[in-house]
Amino acid sequence: MAANATWTALTPTDPEHACPIGPVVDIVFSRWTTPILWTLNMHGRHRFVELERRIGKITPKVLTQRLRQLERDGLIVRTYHPEVPPRVEYEITELGRSLAPLFAHLSEWATTNLDSVEQARHDYDTDGAR
Q: What is the pLDDT of residue 2?
A: 52
Q: What is the pLDDT of residue 65?
A: 95
Sign of CA dihedral 107, 68, 70, 15: negative
Instruction: Give CA 10 to chain center in angstroms.
Output: 25
Q: Which residues of the chain have pLDDT under 70?
A: 1-17, 128-130
pTM: 0.76
CA 94 – CA 75 distance, rounded (Å): 8
Q: What is the pLDDT of residue 26?
A: 83
Q: What is the pLDDT of residue 64?
A: 96
Q: What is the pLDDT of residue 10?
A: 54
